[in-house]
Chain A
Amino acid sequence: EDKVVQSPLSLVVHEGDTVTLNCSYEVTNFRSLLWYKQEKKAPTFLFMLTSSGIEKKSGRLSSILDKKELFSILNITATQTGDSAVYLCAVNSNSGYALNFGKGTSLLVTP
């Protein structure tokens, strides 16, 4: 059975800190790994990773995938209070386009 495990489950940091969120997975016929940010409503897309070792970057956020060790990390530098959210990792396999989500990491950035 496919499995996506995120850690930590929750995290509290001060503004300006750098955080690293982890996502490990076990999936048959891996196709891609996606990161989403969820505040009060539906998830908003951050990154999609398909190849190992290639960092994707968007402002203060970056992510990388290791297909050999079956994990991905999401980094947020110089955190701001607006980064407070649940960050979801999801994996997609070749058996279809449905996403298998992890439980998420709840990040709280305090002023």
Chain B
Amino acid sequence: GQQVMQIPQYQHVQEGEDFTTYCNSSTTLSNIQWYKQRPGGHPVFLIQLVKSGEVKKQKRLTFQFGEAKKNSSLHITATQTTDVGTYFCAGNSNSGYALNFGKGTSLLVTP
């Protein structure tokens, strides 16, 4: 079955430093979604990428979808303490309805 792998598992940065998390799928994805989960909370949708090579930005967050539609990345510029949480990628294969999540990257930002 489809597997979505995400690295790193944890990242600890000083406020102002950049942060990147990477997502790789064992199969071609029809789309990739990114979610953020604050400590004690539930996952909240951030963005969806659909096209090969697509790049989207949300303020300090930049999302990329690979040319082969098997990998993606989330980059945060100049992290803030409000960025603390776990970031998940999730994808649908071309043939499936199920949304499969990576294990997530937990980001800790210290002031």
Q: Tell me whether A and B are bound partners.
A: no
